[in-house]
Structure 1
Amino acid sequence: MQLGLALPTFGPDARPEGLLHVCRTAEEMGYDSLWTGDRVLAPLVPGAPYPSGGGVMPRAYENHMDPLVALTFVASHTTRVRLGTSTLNGLWQPPIMLARSLTTLDVLSRGRLVVGLGLGWMPDEYTAVAVPWEGRGPRLDETLDVLEEYWANDVFAHEGPLFTIPETVVGLKPAQRPGPPVLLAAFSPGGLRRIGRRFGGWLPVAMPLPYLMGMWDTILKEAVEAERDPSTLRMALRVNPQLTESRTDPGQMPRKGTLTQYIDYARAAAEAGVHELFVDFGQTTATLAERVDLAGRFLDGVRAG
């Protein structure tokens, strides 16, 4: 199982110095990937509760970087680690613009981009970017159509229910062919069906492993029904530790526990068949130096197993 680490693109350490320190140190430690998320708003009164943490959005989100710009910066200061989005809200810009940005980043990183796309949870952000909250599923499907067409063809045009793209030459191609891997964050039956039937795989958040692998089995069955090879799909599991000083009841993992408990969870995930696991210590109260230390101890602990 490959291991990744979240970049400090939220909170007080979302600065050039923070990004440089984490990306260089993580690559030297031996991490396989680096990840960033996506926010455009931090409303004083969100229109929907945050999906974890008791419904309260982390204060760190009040200071947020553009994820693709941040990854481009990190790409110029690393050589090996893959660069992922967890998740990029793929509906906040026209798909032709998204395709151009993702292609450019894959070229500049020399083929290290992993595209994790999601739909977000906050209607307020859709209001801010003038995109309807309703109809997100069909909008995502058409966005994926455009990405696929843009990456596959030297000349293409698109005529769909939401987007019209006149016939155009596409000269810039991703370093990864036919395109960078696209992982989708979803948990609904429709979302799992979409993952199984198109693109590269799943981007879940940590949950008890029996539930996780049960949902993964659903995705693989959907792939088989769509006459796809299920072995080509990958899962990259996000873990947001809430660290405690003493061991918690096993029923509280992976929501909260000690670092040792999270190491044990990662080892069990590897045995269960998870392809990649990445950890975000940025949702703790630790300083940047403490987070880097935790990242080193976590990596050593998982790989010692």
Structure 2
Amino acid sequence: MKLGLALPTFGPDARPEGILRICRTAEDMGYDSLWTGDRVLAPRVPSAPYPSSTGEMPRAYENHMDPLVALTFAASHTTRVHLGTSTLNGLWLPPLMLARSLTTLDVLSKGRLIVGLGLGWMPDEYTAVSVPWKGRGARLDETLDVLEKYWANDVFAHEGTQFTIPETVVGLKPSQRPGPPVLLAAFSPGGLRRVGRRCAGWLPVAMPLPHLLGMWDVIQKEAVEADRDPAALRMALRVNPELTDTKTDPDRMPQAGTLAQYIDYARAAAEAGVHELFVDFGQIPATLTERVDLAGRFLEGVRRG
């Protein structure tokens, strides 16, 4: 199983020094990937609760960087690690502009981009960028159509219910062909169906492994029904640890626990067939130096197993 780290693109460490520190940490320690998320708004009173046990949006989100710009910066200071979005809210940009940005990043990173797309959780952000909240699934499908055409064709046009693109020559091609892998953060029946039928894989968040594997089984079955090879799909699991000083009840994992418990969870995920797991230490009350230390101990603990 590959292991990754989240870049500090939220909170007080979202600055060049913080990103550089984690970039160097990842490459020096032997991590496989770096990941960043996406926010455009931090309302004092969100219209929808944050999808966590408390329902409260992390205060770190009040200071947020552009994920693709941050990954471009990371690409210029690394040579080996892959660069992923977890997740990029794929509907906030017109798909043609999204295709251009993603292709540019894949070229500049020499084929290290992993495109993780999601729909977000907060209607306020859609309001802020003048994109309808309703009809997100259909809009995502058409966005995926445009990405596929942009990457596969030297000349293409698109006429859909959401977007119209006149015929255009596309000279810029990604380093990865036919294009960078597109993973989807999805949990609804329709979303799991979309992953299995047209995406390269799934971007779940940490949950009890029996539940995780049950959803993965749904995705695999959808791939078979669409005449796709289920073995070709990949799963990249995000872990947002809430670290405790003492061991928690197993029923609370992976919601909260000690570092040792999260190491055990990662080992069990590897044994269960998870392809990649990345951890975000950026949402715990710790300094950047302490997070680097945690990253080293986590990697050593998982690899030792």
The two structures have a TM-score, normalised by structure 2, of 1.00
**Deviation at 1:288?**
0.5
1:240 correspondence with 2:240: yes
Residue equivalent to 1:290: 290
- Distance, in Å, in 2 between the alignment partners of 1:252 and 1:205 is 15
Residue equivalent to 2:185: 185
Show the 5 A alignment for 1:137-216.
Answer: 137-216=137-216
Deviations 1:245-286 (A, max 9, x none): 000000000000000000000000000000000000011001
Show the 5 A alignment for 1:23-62.
Answer: 23-62=23-62
Show the 5 A alignment for 1:107-122.
Answer: 107-122=107-122
- Distance, in Å, in 2 between the alignment partners of 1:25 and 1:183 is 25
- Distance, in Å, in 2 between the alignment partners of 1:214 and 1:283 is 28
Show the 5 A alignment for 1:213-228.
Answer: 213-228=213-228
- Distance, in Å, in 2 between the alignment partners of 1:124 and 1:53 is 21
Letter in 2 for 1:101: S
Q: Partner of 2:54: helix, strand, or coil?
A: helix
Cα root mean square deviation, aligned: 0.4
Deviations 1:137-163 (A, max 9, x none): 000000000000000000000000010
Letter in 1 for 2:57: M
Deviations 1:41-84 (A, max 9, x none): 00011010101041110000000000000000000000000000
- Distance, in Å, in 2 between the alignment partners of 1:35 and 1:25 is 13
- Distance, in Å, in 1 between the alignment partners of 2:66 and 2:53 is 23
- Distance, in Å, in 1 between the alignment partners of 2:273 and 2:39 is 31
Residue equivalent to 1:129: 129
- Distance, in Å, in 1 between the alignment partners of 2:229 and 2:26 is 33
Letter in 2 for 1:293: D
- Distance, in Å, in 1 between the alignment partners of 2:283 and 2:63 is 13
**Deviation at 1:24?**
1.0
- Distance, in Å, in 2 between the alignment partners of 1:288 and 1:47 is 31
- Distance, in Å, in 2 between the alignment partners of 1:198 and 1:204 is 16
**Deviation at 1:214?**
0.6
Residue equivalent to 2:104: 104
Letter in 1 for 2:297: R
**Deviation at 1:112?**
0.2
- Detail structure 1 runs of 4+ shifted over 4 Å in the superposition: none
- Distance, in Å, in 1 between the alignment partners of 2:53 and 2:175 is 38
Letter in 1 for 2:275: H
The two structures have a TM-score, normalised by structure 1, of 1.00
Residue equivalent to 1:268: 268
Q: Partner of 1:168: helix, strand, or coil?
A: strand
Q: Partner of 2:126: helix, strand, or coil?
A: helix
Identical counterparts, % of pairs: 85
Structure 1 segments unaligned to the other structure (5+ residues) = none
- Distance, in Å, in 1 between the alignment partners of 2:26 and 2:102 is 23
Residue equivalent to 1:78: 78
- Distance, in Å, in 2 between the alignment partners of 1:277 and 1:54 is 24
Deviations 1:149-195 (A, max 9, x none): 00000000000001000000000000000000000000000000000
Letter in 2 for 1:69: V
- Distance, in Å, in 2 between the alignment partners of 1:287 and 1:121 is 28
| Number of residue equivalences | 305
Residue equivalent to 1:93: 93
- Distance, in Å, in 2 between the alignment partners of 1:31 and 1:176 is 21
Structure 2 segments unaligned to the other structure (5+ residues) = none
**Deviation at 1:199?**
1.9
Letter in 2 for 1:185: A
Q: Partner of 1:55: helix, strand, or coil?
A: coil
Letter in 2 for 1:47: S
